[in-house]
Homo-oligomer: A and B are copies of this chain.
C-alpha cells in the first residue's frame, strides 16, 4: 500500500531535497495533496504530481482522507501550529526544523504525539546517517573512553535569497546551529547548561538583488555544559565562507573522534585511540545519503508500526538550548537546561533495512 503524502510548503526545501526523496521512495508513497501560499509554487508542485492545484488551504490537505503523512515544510512560525493540527487529525507528521518557535508549543506537540495515533518526526534527521550511527556506536562502545570536550561547526556565506533568514524568527542559530546542537547532544547526552555569544556581524546583505537590514543573528558561538566539567562548543554563522576542518570533534579520555564533511553531509570519520597509536580513517560509506532521510524513516515506521528512532524530545531539547543561547546572547548570563531526551536506539530490524537500502542505492547510483 502506498502512503499518501500531504505537502505543506512547496518552496526550496521541498523542491529539491524532499522531492528527490519522494522519488526514491517509489511505490511506497505518493503525493496526494499540496499547499503553498504562493500560487506559482503550489501550481508547479500540483502539476508535477497530478494533484488538485486548488486545495483549500492547509486544513484541506490535513483533512484529506487521501493523506496519511503530512510534511510541514513552511516557514518557521507555522511549523508548530500546522504540526499540531495534523497530529490532532490523527496524521503522521514530519516537521522541518525547528519543530516550533516556543518551548510551550514544542511541549504541546510532544504531548500530542504521545497521545496521537500519528508518529512525529522532527528534522534534522542527521542521527540516521550511517556515519553518525558508526560514531554513536564507537562512543557508546567506549572506544575513546568518556567524552570530555568537543567542538562542532557549521556555517557558510549565507543565502542571497529568502529575506526571512535575516528577519526575526530566522537567523543562523535556528537555521544552521541546530544541526551541531542536535549532533553533540546525541553523543554527549542532554546538556545541562548553556551560554553563548550571538549577534549580527554583517548588518546589511543583498538578498534577491536588494539590500536588506539584518535583524536576526548571523553569527554565533554556543557553549554547552554536559555536567562533570564536560563541555562542547558550537560555531555557526552566515559568516563562514569556507572551511577545511572536521565538522565534529569529540575528545574522550582514551582518544578522539572526528566527523568530516558536515554533520548533515558526512564525508567519513576519523578515530584516534591511544591504545592504537594511529588514526583510523573510515571513508564515507554512504555518499548518497540525504539529509531528508527522515521521510523514508517515517514511512518505514508507519509501514512496520514501529516507533521512530529520532525522538521529538530530542528536537525539543535542541530548541530549549537554542532559545537559551539567544537569551544568553542578550544578557551574557548562562542558563540551565531543564529538558532531556532518550539516547537514540538503533533497532536491529531498522539496521537491516538500512543495509538493504544502501545496497540498492549504491547499485542504482553506480549502475551495478
Contacts and interface: CB of A to CB of B under 8 A. Distances in A.
Interface in A352-368: 363-368
Interface string A12-28: 11111111100000000
A61 to B, nearest CB: 21
A40 interface: no
Give the interface size class of chain A: 35 or more
A363 B20 CA distance: 12
B233 A240 contact: no
Number of copies of this chain in the oligomer? 4
A251 B240 contact: yes
Interface of A: 12-20, 144, 148-149, 151, 153, 155, 157, 193, 195-197, 199-202, 218-221, 223, 225, 228-233, 235, 237, 239-246, 249, 251-256, 258, 270, 272, 274, 276-283, 328, 332-334, 363-368
Contacts of A249: 153, 243, 245
Contacts of A202: 148, 253
16 contacts: A12-B367, A13-B367, A15-B367, A16-B364, A16-B365, A149-B219, A220-B231, A233-B235, A241-B255, A241-B274, A242-B256, A244-B256, A244-B258, A278-B281, A280-B280, A333-B333
Given A16-B365, A281-B281, 11 more contacts: A16-B364, A16-B366, A201-B228, A221-B231, A239-B251, A242-B255, A243-B249, A243-B256, A245-B249, A277-B282, A278-B280
B230 A149 contact: no
Contacts of A256: 240-244
